[in-house]
Amino acid sequence: MTLALQINGPVTNSTLASRGVLAAMDPYGLTRMLMDGVLERLEAAGELGEDGDPLAAGDLLEAAVLLIRELRARLDLHSGGALAANVDDLYDYMCRRLGAHLRLSDATDPTNGLARRTHGPAALHEVSHLLDALRSAWAFMPAEVRAASRKSKAS
């Protein structure tokens, strides 16, 4: 299942909840769906950026940052220990990297053209690569670990 939301407004926890997505999914499925949504938006933003539509690409990147923030918000830093803290740091880095790209991609500033051409694609590729690696690890998490995590949250 992929995150097929229209980007007609901000993708927030409340918009996801209003569509019943959050309540109906297990935490692992939702996390995987959010990661897929980020990766889809990064790929589309890269294609739009190459096609010369920086405004649309910027909208997609902003949506990707919102989804990464949702992933961060779903981390259990208390129970997750050092691993959760490291993933939180990675999500923070991804947001900062994409935020820097958005600032470089300011379509209203003609002096940003060279910076956008030289640094823009690298940021998208880096974040995509990092998130894809994290998503792969997430997908192979043993079922026993998932079940134990659900039981500890229920008690």
DSSP string, the chain: -------SS---HHHHHHTTHHHHS-HHHHHHHHHHHHHHHHHHHHHHHHTT-HHHHHHHHHHHHHHHHHHHHT--HHHHHHHHHHHHHHHHHHHHHHHHHHHHT-TT-GGGHHHHHHHHHHHHHHHHHHHHHHHHHHHT--HHHHHHHHHHHH-
Residue listed under structure tokens 């309540």 = 23
Tens of pLDDT, residues 18-66: 556 565 677 888 899 999 999 999 999 999 877 778 888 889 999 999 9
Tens of pLDDT, residues 64-109: 999 999 999 999 999 889 999 999 999 999 999 998 888 765 555 5
Which phi and psi (to 5°) does residue 13 adopt?
Answer: -55, -40
Q: Which residues contact 54 (CB under 8 A, 6 or more apart)?
A: 48, 105, 107, 116
What is the predicted pLDDT for the residue at 118? 42
Whole-model pTM: value is 0.75
User: CATH fold of 13-141, please?
Assistant: Four Helix Bundle (Hemerythrin (Met), subunit A) (1.20.120)
Q: Find out whether 102 and 131 touch, Cβ atoms under 8 Å.
A: no
